[in-house]
Amino acid sequence: MGETAGRIIFLNGTSSSGKSSIADELLDILDDEVWFHLGVDMFNAMRTKRAMEQAQFDEALKRTRMGFHRSIAAMVEVGNSVIVDHVLSEPWRLADCLDVLSPYQVLFVGVRCDVQELTRRETARGDRPSGLAAQQYDLVHRHGDYALECDSGAYSPRECAEQIKAFLPNQSGSTAFERLRAGAGR
């Protein structure tokens, strides 16, 4: 890692929890340096849309996620600061991020929202399978350690972004990623 490495604000939450909206607001209010928004959905949108067998699709999806994690590291390595929005619904995703992003400063933010609001948002969006957010609800936060959590049901995306911005200068000591990495015996 070079001395020019950027920073990472890592937003983790279910589908429809408001991560992308918070990231957009952060891009608007973070004025200390140039930031980029890297979203897992952006990488999914780049993939071919042809029909595949389930096993082939699952393997392509895993490679997509692994490539996404390494793209985050590549951007940060050369000095870019990034806002990541991701859904860590499978244990290997978090483990891979802990490994790949280990040299970098990561502010790990949990984006939470109650299930009823997630269901309402999911229905209003119409571009997600019904029940996806509820299915992910317990999975994405099961590791139980964040530097900061935002309730996107109680606060607007702008208010959540302001909470994150206010927290950035106070980030010190052991980070959530470091604690999770240590707890996993890494």
Pairing of strands 105-112, 148-151: parallel
Catalytic-residue membership of 58: no
Amino acid letter, residue 114: D
- The active-site residue out of 41, 58, 114, 138 is 41
130 is in an annotated binding site: no
15 is in an annotated binding site: yes
Residue 128: exposure state from Cβ atoms within 10 A (0-12, 13-18, ≥19): middle
13 is in an annotated binding site: yes
Spatial neighbors of 164 by CB under 8 A, at least 6 apart, are 9, 22, 26, 107, 109, 148, 150
Both structure tokens of 10: 């890592």
126 is in an annotated binding site: no
- Which residues share a beta bridge with 4? none
21 is in an annotated binding site: no
16 is in an annotated binding site: yes
Binding-site residues from annotation for ATP: 13-20
Binding-site residues from annotation: 13-20
Query: Which residues have a catalytic role annotated?
Result: 41
